[in-house]
Structure 1
Amino acid sequence: MVVGDLALELDTIVIGSGPGGYVAAIRAAQLGKKVAIIEKDNIGGVCLNVGCIPSKALINAGHRYLEAQTSEQFGIKTSKVEIDFAKTQKWKDEQVVGQLTSGVEMLLKKNKVEIIKGSAFFNDTNQLRVVNGDDAQSYTFKNAIIATGSRPIEIKGFKFGGRVIDSTGALNLKEIPKKLVVIGGGYIGSELAGVYANLGTEVTILEGESKILSAFDNDMIKLVVDNFKQKNVEIVTNAMAKEAKETDNGVEVVYEKDGKAETIEADYVLVTVGRRPNTDDLGLQMAGVELDERGLVKVDNQGRSSQKHIFAIGDVTKGPALAHKASYEAKVAAEVIAGKNAEIDYVAIPAVCFTDPELATVGLTEAQAKEQGFTVKVSKFPFGANGRALSLNQTEGFVRLVTEKDTGLILGGQVAGVGASDVVAELGLAVEARMNIEDLSLTIHAHPTISETIMDASELSLGLPIHI
């Protein structure tokens, strides 16, 4: 091993180059700090390389394939629709992931951020070393931002490898499976189940709870469940996965339902039961950085850990493991390091699941608002009454506004249906800006668009609906 003789001096160091790390590095550099970023794998982290971005690329490919086979009602007839999955994967890797990751690397260099390859380990409160193969170098730093993200949880009886795959494996399969078992019906499991169902795979979802997508309201979940049924996806709830046994031709999955052991055969089994923070191999105890019982870094409202010059953001801190949360926290941490009086003060974080149909929520649900003591009014406008949804032949879904009854203050909202991932942004702004229902109703929305459902729902809340 080649080790640097002396520790090199750094000003601000960022560990991890995902949506938290690279945003923190760029913002800190923009604010005048000299920044270095450490990355042991690929620039862009999990999200850009093996998460958010490639999964959406495959979701889009699945939609295109399905639409090519089911467009006869529009007068469009096709025959012998085929998919070259190797070409699909090449497009995903080169044209989508490759373009984004190279773009991020270019932005880091443009902002004069030094890129250091390797794994970082803290030696003490102001020093770390970076190991890259046979080489190692120590660095001292004034400020550090931990943005190392998270990884899939491996469960007993389902050791990753071979035909037992995690989300990364599912995104990089060489062929479309004939049969796929998905363990865990949360965001990732449901999205990837939808990808392969659209590509013609026979999918079974095993969910330990009484329903899939439990973070969403029941009427939203039902839309996804009904869509899965149309594609012959079997959903087994209250099912406890026990073991995976590889065979000559695939894998046998043993699970327990109502006290009875069941076996199902598949080409692959995808395990998506959650993620754990990447804090266990950083030497944080050497730096005196405190963790909670889940291995998350304890931080204040500026992102500072128990060591005030060491910050943590994204999946390694408390809260939902979402890329946009990490990016938001990244900007706050960078601004604090640059001497600005910034702090984390978001009212709501949007959450989106890219299923069929899409589901999105921001702020409080009806149940949450009532739990917090609000007198609540709920207004629900169906996509079936929206001209754009009709023209797209995607009328499943609705917009729901949750408001305080007396003041009309917008407490939260949910969108289920085509374009929900984009439409929810307006509701996020409304919640963050503490708008009331009249603010939405008086905003002129372009016609015909899905976003008009927001205006229609607000008029419904005022008791003055036009289109319902």
Structure 2
Amino acid sequence: MYRELDFEVVVIGAGPGGYTCAIKLAQLGLKVAIIEKNKIGGTCLNVGCIPSKTLLHSSQEYYDLKNNKIAQLGILVKDVGLNMQRMMESKDKIVHQLGIGIQSLLQKHKIQCFDDHAFFLDQHTIHLQKQNLQIRAKYFVIATGSEAKTSPNIIVDEQSILTSTGALELREVPESLLVMGGGYIGLEIGSIWSRLGSNVCIVEYSNKIAGQIDSEVSVALQDMMRGQGITFYLNTEVLEVHDNNNNNNLLRVHLSNRDTKESIEIDTSKVLLAIGRTPCTRGLMLEKALVHINEQGFVKVDDAFRTSAEHIYAIGDVIGGAMLAHKASQEAVAVAEIIAGKRGNVNYKTMPSVLYTKPEVASVGPTQAQLDAANIPYKMCKSYFAHNGMAHAALEKEGFVKILYSATTHQIISAYIVGSQASNLLGQITSVMEFGGRIEDLARSFYAHPGFSETIKDAANQ
């Protein structure tokens, strides 16, 4: 015999979108439940953003010490070693601590949490599989996120052929790693294992790395990463991956250049599939709730995040667009406010995107090519970290700041930062953009001296 419970709002998925939405709804006075079939925190906390950034930081510290970066400052370090087990334990500890923090926030706001798989029985009822429990609600929010996309011709075993999940759990440094995909995930994870000693090559189907990012930025980043020892094959397709019959410990990867049709064979210890992500909608029985999805499996929503069932909303990766945790959390707050009868809105024009390589790449707004294609008149200003005092003091002289602004109104349209602390520096620009600021507003603002942020002022004063 099943039990029944009633809530005003049920959130399905407890990643950055789901738990942020649930907390905001509770703060607005609604009775809320949240359901997560895996772990609180979702992909971002457990197998994505946090573990990858932890390992990016750890691997960079190791790389800098091993390569005596600070020797020119008179600091001498000998016998630098690597304890992979301890590094992974440190990563796991950080993830665990942050998970406890999220759980305590949910408890603080009296949000009932269910560790279970949910699926719709009808438009107002879901069933929890493990607990044989039915839950009815006035509103639902689907925040089930995404998972790594795989290839039908390549079987993932998370031992030799990996997704990002398996690549963040390796306990030994692979002698070599071939990364399928030169997007953000491939570049970041490739960087981790390259720094730790693996021979990394990145195979990208298109003619540039880092997806839709500005072409100048893409070329600059590739040059810098090539200088760190990473090999790139652009405009190249992976045809096949199989065991190397001459060496059981290696995989043989067959590549083909899309222009020249040249065939290339590479033997590698591990292969990482970083070819994108796909929405997690399987098993939700959305058809019973009359919720429509598109051909790619993403949930269709309107401008207010309503699905085809007007009392069911969806946010985050599952609706497509930029698959970013901060996008999901912004949409979460907006949806909570809409459900509570308030005005909720997300300004995607100021949504930042960050690639946590070395150097970091942070961007907001369209590229020059996109502006040219749309015949939008703009001006560009630019400055280099090589001219910044703090960058010299910190031995971080690589990179630049590039800002595009309207040729008529001078309002800031886009910004790209390649360099140390780019992820933090971009916030100053996005804040000005949020208030419709102009390039003059950046130029006239105060910046502490010396500081990396002065590079923004130098650009704005061009």
TM-score with structure 1 setting the length: 0.94
Q: Counterpart in 1 of 2:321?
A: 319
Q: Is the CA contact (8 Å cut-off) linking 1:129 and 1:137 kept in structure 2?
A: yes
**Structure 1 residues without counterparts, runs of 5 or longer:** 461-468
- Deviation of 1:277 after TM superposition, in Å, equals 0.4
CA RMSD in angstroms, aligned pairs only: 1.4
Deviations 1:368-395 (A, max 9, x none): 2333332211001111111111111111
Does 1:384 find its partner at 2:386?
yes
- The counterpart of 2:104, out of the listed 103, 106, 109, is 106
- Deviation of 1:156 after TM superposition, in Å, equals 2.8
What secondary structure sits across from 1:356 in the alignment? coil
Amino acid at match of 2:86: K
Q: Counterpart in 2 of 1:463?
A: none
Q: Counterpart in 2 of 1:256?
A: 256
- The counterpart of 1:332, out of the listed 331, 334, 339, is 334
- Deviation of 1:212 after TM superposition, in Å, equals 1.4
- The counterpart of 1:218, out of the listed 215, 219, 225, is 215
**Structure 2 residues without counterparts, runs of 5 or longer:** none
Deviations 1:209-247 (A, max 9, x none): 112113222321233222222232111112211222235
Q: Is the CA contact (8 Å cut-off) linking 1:156 and 1:242 kept in structure 2?
A: no
User: Structure 1 vs Structure 2: percent identity of aligned residues?
Assistant: 38
- Whole-Å Cα distance in 1 between the matches of residues 320 and 273 of structure 2? 23
- Whole-Å Cα distance in 2 between the matches of residues 382 and 367 of structure 1? 22
- Whole-Å Cα distance in 2 between the matches of residues 350 and 24 of structure 1? 20
- Deviation of 1:295 after TM superposition, in Å, equals 1.2
Does 1:267 find its partner at 2:272?
no
- Whole-Å Cα distance in 2 between the matches of residues 264 and 364 of structure 1? 36
Does 1:192 find its partner at 2:189?
yes
Deviations 1:101-125 (A, max 9, x none): 1100110011101000111100110
Q: Counterpart in 2 of 1:308?
A: 310
- Deviation of 1:250 after TM superposition, in Å, equals 3.0
What secondary structure sits across from 1:7 in the alignment? strand
- Whole-Å Cα distance in 2 between the matches of residues 219 and 372 of structure 1? 19
What secondary structure sits across from 1:444 in the alignment? coil
Does 1:155 find its partner at 2:151?
yes
Matches within 5 A, 1:131-210: 131-132=129-130, 135-161=131-157, 162-210=159-207
TM-score with structure 2 setting the length: 0.95
Q: Is the CA contact (8 Å cut-off) linking 1:124 and 1:287 kept in structure 2?
A: yes
- Whole-Å Cα distance in 2 between the matches of residues 291 and 405 of structure 1? 40
Aligned residues: 454
- Deviation of 1:420 after TM superposition, in Å, equals 0.6
- Deviation of 1:72 after TM superposition, in Å, equals 1.9
Q: Is the CA contact (8 Å cut-off) linking 1:241 and 1:253 kept in structure 2?
A: yes
- CA separation of 1:87/1:104 partners in 2, compared to 1, >3 Å: closer, same or farther? same
Matches within 5 A, 1:62-461: 62-69=59-66, 70=68, 71-94=70-93, 96-132=94-130, 135-161=131-157, 162-246=159-243, 248-257=248-257, 258-460=260-462
- Whole-Å Cα distance in 2 between the matches of residues 401 and 259 of structure 1? 38
- Deviation of 1:415 after TM superposition, in Å, equals 0.6
Q: Is the CA contact (8 Å cut-off) linking 1:167 and 1:271 kept in structure 2?
A: yes
- Deviation of 1:440 after TM superposition, in Å, equals 1.1
Amino acid at match of 2:215: N
Q: Counterpart in 2 of 1:464?
A: none
What secondary structure sits across from 2:151 in the alignment? coil
- Whole-Å Cα distance in 2 between the matches of residues 431 and 78 of structure 1? 44
Amino acid at match of 1:123: L
